[in-house]
Each structure stands twice: as C-alpha cells, then as structure tokens.
Structure 1
Amino acid sequence: MKAAILTAPNAMSLEEAAAPVPMAGDVVLRVRAATICGTDIRILRGRKTAGVRYPSILGHEFAGEIVETGGHADLTPGDRVALCPAIACGHCDRCKRGQENLCTAGANIGYEVDGAFAELIRIPERAARAGNIRHLPDHMSFAEAALVEPLACVLNGQNRVSLGLGETVVVLGAGPIGLLHVAMARLRGATRIISTDPNHHRRAMAQALGADLALDATLPDLVERVRAETGGRGADVVICAIGLPALARQATDFAAHGGRVSLFAGFSKGETAEMDVNAIHYNEITVTGAFGLSRNDYDRAFELIASGRLDVRPLITHSFALDDALTAFDTAESGTAIKVAIVND
C-alpha cells in the first residue's frame, strides 16, 4: 500500500509500505479521508516528540470503509465508519476518574499506533471492543467525519472552562481549532464572541462561523479594543487556540474578574510563558489546560456533526490525493488553507 512515512523530524516521504497485518480481533479500514492537524505539523517539524516513533505513519483525524471486520458482529465489509483515535486502558486511576484523555497506559492512533496517512489502517482489537468505531449515516461525508476528532477536543476544552449561556468569549487564533471554538461557543449560547487573528481571510471565516467581531491580532491596542468591546470588563472565557507562549499573558489580560482562561493549544516541550500572577490572584482568574478527548467527547461531537447542528464543511478548504500528501502538508503549514484533507477515492 502507499503511505506517507515519517522517518525523522523534517523527513516524510510517500512510499510503498507493507499492508497492515491484523491480529485476532483487529479491524482494517480503507482510509477515505484524513485531515491534517496542527499537531501533525508539529511532529513533522520535531516540535512534538512524545509518543512519536520513527519510522511511523501520522494521521489521527480520519474515516473510511471496513475491509476486515476482526470478527466483530456489528461490522460488515464496506461499512462507512469513523473512529475515536484515543484508546484508553480503562483501568488506571485517570480512566477510573473519567479522565480517559489523560490515560498514560493506553495508546493513540497516529502516535503509538500507525495512523491514517495511508491507504489502509489497522484498528487494534481493544479499540473496536471499547466502542471507538462509529457508523456514518448516509448523508455524512468521510471528510466531515474526520473532523469529529478535533471537534471532540474542542468540546473537552470548553467543558474544562464551563463555557455556557450568555457569556462573552474571546478566541485567540482563527485556525481550524480556533474556528471550531467559535462555532461551538455560538452553539453553546455565548452572546458575544470575539476572534483575533492576523490573517484577514481567517477573520472573515470566524465571522461567518459565528464571531460577532474579528480583530487583527497585530493591533497595538488589542487589549484595549477587547476591553472596549466588552464594556470595560473583559471576557468571561478566553481560549488560547494557538500554541504561542506570548498569548498566555495576553489571554489573562483579556479576562474579566472571575474569568476563565483555557490554554488549549499545544505548546512545544520546554516553552515557558510570562503571566500576570498578580491579576490571576486578585481578579480570581482560573487558568486551565485542555488536552485530547475521551470517547464521550467523541460521541457527542459525532452527534453534533451527524445531526447537522454544527456544519464543519466550510472548514475543509483544500483536498489532495494521497499521492500529493507532501503538498498537502506544505499547504496546511503555509497558512493559506483552513483544513486540508487527504482523500482516497
């Protein structure tokens, strides 16, 4: 089969690879769509190394068709399915506390298990047995299904800051994740949503997806503008959707008294940020991280997209064949696209 093989940081090539050999209970999918995540780019560039193997195949946002069922009675060859790529162990302390996304004894497809930038992918038996596989309704495209995973991560992040009705929200960054945060905040009943980004095309997309205002992130008086737009009080919730340490300080500057800040985006190991600890203390600002997703997050995100409550189709701006996977990565990294899909027809 063809696959985009990562052999070292900054070294990926399209190669012929051995087709996956399933063990008892494993499922094999023919990948029909896999979208490129910012984390995939960070791995390619060597900015994220945890759980990464060389050589390996990346890709954790995907959907496809069943090729081998692994003996699972609810699966049939040709079934259209999507999959939660996080495989929790189910018995560690974190899993028992309902924190599957923090499980360190499990595995993740696209990291410890070869991912979806290939023609075929093996789904471990324990993922199939745990209910990670979801059947697609006829009207749901493979590319839409691939975006269930990032939406599930967004749900986890917004739950961590209890984003709710009537709140003012600032989202820093209008890349794919920032745009999903905007759309999800609107769906959850936020009444004032402000997006910031230096790219005017992405700012326009943010407003199309529900932002009331999209500000140029390079404005020298950005904090004052946000304060003015919120009646001087700041935002109830601030979401840092770009992994730039400098934005952590900016996020607390935007927050209202009693506000909540989500450092949602992934940062590179060893990076540090300056934060206004005085404001955090006296203004009682809550600062939290958000990492990954659980099966529950995935199921809820799946239903939001499958039901049509949240339309992710505008986010998919570019599609490439697997033969052009390297060009797809270049496009995703260039900032000229929103979400890039690699499709296998």
Structure 2
Amino acid sequence: MKAGLLRAPNDLSFETVPDPVLAAGDLLVRVRAATVCGTDIRIFRGRKTAGVRYPSILGHEFAGEIVDTGGNGDFSCGEAVAVCPAIPCGHCDYCKRGYENICQNLTAIGYEIDGAFAEYIRIPARAIEARNVFRIPESLSWEKAALVEPLSCVLNGQEKIGIEVGDTVVVLGSGPIGLLHIKLARLSGAHRVIVSEPSASRREAAIAAGADIAVDPVSEDLQAVVRVHTKGLGADKLIVAIGVAKLANDALSLVRHRGRVSLFAGFSSAEMATMDVNLIHYNELVVTGSFGLNRLQFEKSLDMIAAGRIEVDSMLTHRFALEDIGAALETAERGGAVKVAVVNA
C-alpha cells in the first residue's frame, strides 16, 4: 500500500510500504479521510519524541471503511467507523480509577501503532475489545468524522475547568483547537468569549466561530480588554490553546480570584515556564493540565458533530491527496489553513 512514512525527524516521504498484517480479531480499515493535528507536526519536526518509533506512519484523526473484519463478529465489511486512537489497558491503577486517558500502559494509534496517513490502517483487536471503534452515521462525512478526535480532546480539557452558563471565557490562540474551544464554550453556555490571537485571519475565524472579541496581543493590551469586560475582575475560565510556555504565567493574571486555567496545549519539552505562584496561592486559582481523551468523550463528541450541535464544516479549509502528505503537513504548519484533511478517494 501507499503511505507517508516518517523515517526520522524531518524525513517523511510518500512511498510503498508492506500491507498491514492482521492478527485474529484485528480490523483492516480503508482510510477515507485523516486530518492533520499539531501533534503530527511536533512529531514530524522532532519536538515530540516520547513513545515515537521510526519508521512510523503518523495520523490519529481519521475515519474510514472496514474492508476486513479479521474474523471479528462485532463488525461487518463496508461499515463506516471512526476510532478513538488512545487505547487504555483497562487494568492499571489509573484505568481502575476512571482516568484512562493517562493509563500507565496507554497505546497510541498514530506513532506507537501505525496511523492513518496511509491507504489502510490496522486496528488491533484490543482496541475493538476496549470499544475504541465507533460506527458513524451515513449522514456524516468522512472529513467531519475525522474531527471527532480533536473535539474529544477539547471536551476533556473543558470538563476539567467546568465552563458554566454565564461564564466569561478567554482562549489564548485560535488555531483549530482554539476554534473548537470557542464552539464548545458557547455550547456550554458561556456568556462571553474573548480570544487572543496575533493572526488577523485567525481572529476573523474566531469571530465566525462564536467569539465576541478577538484581540491582537501584539498591538492591544489583552489584560485591559479582559478587565473592561469583566468589571475589573478577570475571566472565570481561561484556556491556553497554543503551546507557548510563557503564556502559562500570563494566564494567571487574566482570571479572577478562584478562576480556573487550563494548560491545554502541548508544550515543547525544551521549554520551561516561570509562574508567579503567589497569584495561584492568594487568588486561590485552579491550574490544570489536559491530556488526550477517553472513549466516553469520543462518543459524546461524535454525537455532537453528527447532530450538528458543533459545526465543523467551516474548519475544513484545505484538502490534499495522500500522495501530497508532505505538502499537507507543511500547509498545516504554516498556519494559514484552519484544518487540513488528507483524503483518499
């Protein structure tokens, strides 16, 4: 089959690779659409190395059609599916406590297991047994179904800070993840959403996604804007949706006493942030991380997109054939696109 094969950081090529070999109970899925994630770019550029093996096939946001059931009686050839790419072990201490997204033995489709920037992808039997595979309705396009995974991660982040009706929410960064945070915050009842984003086109996208105010942090005073719209108190909730470490400390001064801050984005392992711990202490702030997703969040996100409660069509701005996988990654990295899809006809 054809695939985008990553042999080393910055060394990815479109080439012929061996077809996946199925064990009993594995599924073989013909990938119909896969979208590019910031994590794919970080792995491609060598900024994320934990768990990454070489050579490997990236791509963990995808949907496709089952072409071989591997003898698995729960599915049939021809069924359309989306797959939660984080496979928990189900028996470690974290899984037993319900924290499967930080499972001690978590296995990730997309680099630990070859991913979806390929004609076909093997879904291991243990993913089927763990119920990581979800049927998608006929009304849902392949590309929209591929966006269930990033929305699931956003849902995980927002569940940890509890956005409520009437909240003022600040989102730092309005790339694809920032836009999903805006949309989900609106659905959760946020009264006001303020976005900070240096890119003019992404500020426009933020307003279109439902933000009330989009601030250019280069030319405007974000803190002053937030104070004006919160009676001088600060935001109720803040989400750092871009992996710039120094923003972690900036976030602390933008929320009110007892405000909540989500350090949602993945940060480079080479970066460290200095934080004013007194702001956390005296203002009784809650600062939380957010990693990945779980199967229930995937199911909820699939339902939201399928029902049209979260609109994602407008986010799909660029499409590439699999043979142009290198250009797809570079386009996503440049930032002019919102969401880049790799489509197999």
After TM superposition, the score normalised by the length of structure 2 is: 0.98
The number of residues matched between the two structures is 345
Mind listing any 5+ residue stretches in structure 2 that lack a counterpart? none
Q: Which residue of 1 aligns with 2:217?
A: 217
After TM superposition, list the pairs within 5 Å mapping 1:97-116 onto structure 2. 97-116=97-116
Q: Which residue of 2 aligns with 1:291?
A: 291
Say whether 1:157 aligns with 2:157.
yes
| Counterpart residue identity of residue 142, structure 1 | W
Tell me the alpha carbon deviations over residues 120-140 of structure 1, each in whole angstroms, 9 at most, x when there is no partner. Answer: 000000111221111111110
- CA distance, structure 1, for counterparts of residue 28 and residue 261 of structure 2: 40
| Counterpart residue identity of residue 299, structure 2 | D
Say whether 1:255 aligns with 2:255.
yes
After TM superposition, list the pairs within 5 Å mapping 1:1-345 onto structure 2. 1-345=1-345
| Counterpart residue identity of residue 5, structure 1 | L
Give the Å deviation of 1:104.
2.3
- CA distance, structure 2, for counterparts of residue 29 and residue 244 of structure 1: 36
- CA distance, structure 2, for counterparts of residue 276 and residue 106 of structure 1: 33
| Counterpart residue identity of residue 33, structure 1 | A
- CA distance, structure 1, for counterparts of residue 315 and residue 207 of structure 2: 13
| Counterpart residue identity of residue 39, structure 1 | T
Give the Å deviation of 1:224.
1.4
- CA distance, structure 2, for counterparts of residue 243 and residue 319 of structure 1: 25
- CA distance, structure 2, for counterparts of residue 138 and residue 310 of structure 1: 18
- CA distance, structure 2, for counterparts of residue 52 and residue 11 of structure 1: 14
- SS of the residue corresponding to residue 260 of structure 2 reads strand
| Counterpart residue identity of residue 52, structure 1 | V
- CA distance, structure 1, for counterparts of residue 7 and residue 246 of structure 2: 31
- CA distance, structure 1, for counterparts of residue 16 and residue 104 of structure 2: 32
Tell me the alpha carbon deviations over residues 224-267 of structure 1, each in whole angstroms, 9 at most, x when there is no partner. Answer: 12211222111010000000011111111111111000000001
| Counterpart residue identity of residue 328, structure 1 | A
Mind listing any 5+ residue stretches in structure 1 that lack a counterpart? none
- SS of the residue corresponding to residue 273 of structure 1 reads coil
Contact 2:33 2:143 survives alignment (8 Å): yes
Contact 2:227 2:233 survives alignment (8 Å): yes
- SS of the residue corresponding to residue 281 of structure 1 reads helix
Give the Å deviation of 1:208.
1.0
Give the Å deviation of 1:220.
4.9
- CA distance, structure 2, for counterparts of residue 218 and residue 98 of structure 1: 42
Identity %: 59
| Counterpart residue identity of residue 232, structure 1 | G
Between 1:220-229 and 1:125-134, the stretch displaced more is 220-229
- CA distance, structure 2, for counterparts of residue 52 and residue 276 of structure 1: 33
Tell me the alpha carbon deviations over residues 91-147 of structure 1, each in whole angstroms, 9 at most, x when there is no partner. Answer: 000001110100121311002100000000000001112211111111100100000
